[in-house]
Amino acid sequence: VADSGNRLNLQYSENTLTFTFAGISLRDEGNLNYRYVLRGVDADWHILPHRLPVTYAALRPGKYVFEVKAVNAEGLESIRPARLSFVIVPPFWRTWWFALSATIFLLSAVYLSIRIKVRRLLEIERVRARIATDLHDYIGSGLTRIAILADVAVRQSEERPLRTNGFSASDEGFSARGLMERIGSNARELVDSMSDVVWSIDPHNATLGDLIVRFRTFA
């Protein structure tokens, strides 16, 4: 049995192979036995009493070497086994370059999704900060001016008797001073309420510690 230097490259679907071989003996050729092994599958040599085809089915992608020896009736083996090397090429989705490309694509997708999410969160934070600033600058300052003007009006007003639908100036809430005081009180309540709104949407007040401090202040 002579060596074979051929090497086959097979596709992943060509994974069922049948090996046929024949030994040459000048004496009593009919009593030849064979020993064979497929490197990459078999752990040891197999004995074949006759020249029969050897079939391997569903081989995995990889490198293999099939070796076979002839053994005569006296137990003498071939000096060197016949060898056939072949490679079953894996499908593209099981190659290293596909795995690397898929990993890079997956990491890129995760990175882009994180960037998009962070960008949206930053935009929301900017909107919240802008709303808080606008509320504080415009509405809060306007209500504060109302409260201050009401306080000034209370100090400068004269307590003049007013009669409205039978009510006298002594009736509670119908004097000029009483009305001004109510205006100032309502304005201050609006300022406090607006302060609560500003605090709730301010991104700097998003921790548990800030909430506890707010509770203590309210209490």
> From the CB of residue 24, how many other CB atoms can be counted at a distance below 10 Å?
10
Report how far apart, in Å, the C-alpha atoms of 7 and of each of 65, 75, 89, 157, 199 are: 9, 30, 13, 111, 77
- For tokens 């795995």, what's the residue? 99
Pair of tokens at residue 162: 């007013």
Q: Which residues pair with 67 in a beta bridge?
A: 37, 83
User: Would you write out the chain's pLDDT as a tens digit for each of its 219 residues?
Assistant: 444 456 788 998 999 999 988 888 777 666 788 999 999 999 999 998 877 789 999 899 999 999 999 988 788 888 889 999 999 998 888 888 889 999 999 999 999 999 999 999 998 888 878 777 777 776 777 777 777 777 777 776 655 444 444 544 445 444 666 767 777 777 777 777 777 777 777 777 767 887 888 788 888
- The answer to whether 69 touches 34, Cβ cutoff 8 Å, is yes
Q: How many residues does the chain have?
A: 219
H or E stretch covering 85: strand 82-88
Spatial distance between the Cα atoms of 69 and 48, rounded to a whole number of angstroms: 10
pLDDT tens digits for 111-153? 999 999 999 999 888 887 877 777 777 677 777 777 777 777 7
Report the pLDDT value the prediction gives residue 163, as an integer from 0 to 100. Answer: 47
Spatial distance between the Cα atoms of 147 and 192, rounded to a whole number of angstroms: 12
Q: Comparing C-alpha atoms, which of 3, 5, 86, 19 is closest to residue 51?
A: 19
Q: What is the DSSP letter of 78?
A: P
pTM above 0.75, yes or no: no
Report the pLDDT value the prediction gives residue 115, as an integer from 0 to 100. Answer: 94
Spatial distance between the Cα atoms of 33 and 48, rounded to a whole number of angstroms: 6
- The answer to whether 61 touches 89, Cβ cutoff 8 Å, is yes
